[in-house]
């Protein structure tokens, strides 16, 4: 099936640093989304992107839907300890099978105070 | 409070003993889905449902069954569990008009001995 390549797999950063992670695919997606999973909990939606080229912010988070529709990135500015968790990108595939949301394997973020 | 509720949250069982993980949402969502999360593999879709009486296979449906008799409920059935089904399971739901914007349950950690 389709796959999303998410990188990096893990990041260890100092509090206050900016973070950048991205997701690429060999296929086109109509929607890109970013989720965060805190330890012991289910993923929570951070940002949803619906148009190629779209740039959306949510507080310190900024995400973009790549113009080719095959990639997306997420930036976190001025990281804080509560940013720790696993970040997943996801792409929604309308073609072929209906209702198929493909997830990347996640970026594990650790923030050192 | 809007939520997706899964039960049980934790379960240890033995090979071959049928079990059901229940999932219920109170948001009147049409779309519901089951995922399993394994280390290094991210979130993989097992089954999904676009509406009542409509279900379809995801990426890893083998060994699982689902049903969608009511809009709010989407149980996951393991007819004859095997050790390779030991995993963390998540149920999720969304509006059909906002597919991809999933609300996740808190997860059910299943161990099959």
> pLDDT tens digit string along A19-39?
999 999 988 888 999 999 998
Does the structure show a pLDDT above 80 at A16? Answer: yes
Does the structure show a pLDDT above 70 at B91? Answer: yes
Mean of pLDDT values over B89-100: 88
Measure the CA–CA gap between B84 and B111, rounded to whole angstroms.
9
Does the structure show a pLDDT above 90 at B2? Answer: no
Q: pLDDT-based confidence at A98, cuts 50/70/90?
A: low
> pLDDT tens digit string along A56-68?
999 999 999 999 9
Long-range contacts of B17-22 (CB under 8 A, 24+ apart): B17/B81, B18/B77, B18/B78, B18/B79, B18/B80, B18/B81, B19/B77, B19/B78, B19/B81, B19/B110, B20/B75, B20/B76, B20/B77, B20/B78, B21/B75, B21/B76, B21/B78, B21/B89, B21/B91, B21/B108, B21/B110, B22/B73, B22/B75
Does the structure show a pLDDT above 80 at B98? Answer: no
Question: Measured on CA atoms in the order B49, B55, B59, B61, is the torsion positive or negative?
Answer: positive
Report whether A109 contacts A8 (CB < 8 A).
no
Q: Give how far B81 is from chain A: nearest CA, Å.
A: 23
Backbone angles phi, psi at B66, to 5 degrees: -140, 165
Environment class of B86 (CB within 10 Å of its CB; exposed 0-12, middle 13-18, buried 19+): middle
**Is A104 in Cβ contact with B100 (below 8 Å)?**
no
Residue of B nearest to A41 (CA): B106
Q: Give how far A31 is from chain B: nearest CA, Å.
A: 8
A101 in B contact zone (CB under 8 Å) = yes
């Amino acid at each position: 099936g389709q796959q999303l390549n998410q990188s990096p797999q893990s990041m260890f950063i100092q509090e206050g640093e900016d973070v950048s992670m991205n997701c690429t695919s060999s296929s086109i997606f109509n929607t890109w989304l970013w989720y965060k999973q805190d330890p012991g909990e289910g993923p929570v939606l951070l940002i949803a992107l619906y148009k190629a080229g779209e740039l959306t912010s949510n507080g310190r988070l900024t995400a973009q839907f790549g113009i080719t529709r095959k990639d997306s990135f997420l930036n976190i500015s001025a990281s804080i300890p509560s940013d720790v968790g696993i970040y997943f990108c996801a792409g929604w595939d309308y073609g072929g099978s209906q209702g198929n949301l493909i997830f990347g394997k996640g970026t594990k973020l650790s923030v050192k105070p | 409070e809007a939520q997706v509720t899964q039960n049980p949250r934790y379960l240890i069982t033995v090979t071959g003993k049928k079990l059901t993980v229940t999932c219920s949402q109170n948001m009147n969502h049409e779309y519901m889905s089951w995922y399993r999360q394994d280390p290094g593999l991210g979130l993989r879709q097992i089954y999904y449902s676009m509406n009542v009486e409509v279900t379809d296979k995801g990426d890893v449906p083998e060994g699982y069954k689902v049903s969608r008799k009511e809009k709010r409920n989407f149980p996951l059935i393991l007819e004859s569990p095997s050790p390779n089904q030991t995993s963390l399971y998540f149920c999720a739901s969304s509006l059909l008009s906002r597919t991809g914007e999933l609300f996740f349950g808190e997860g059910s950690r299943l161990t099959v001995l």
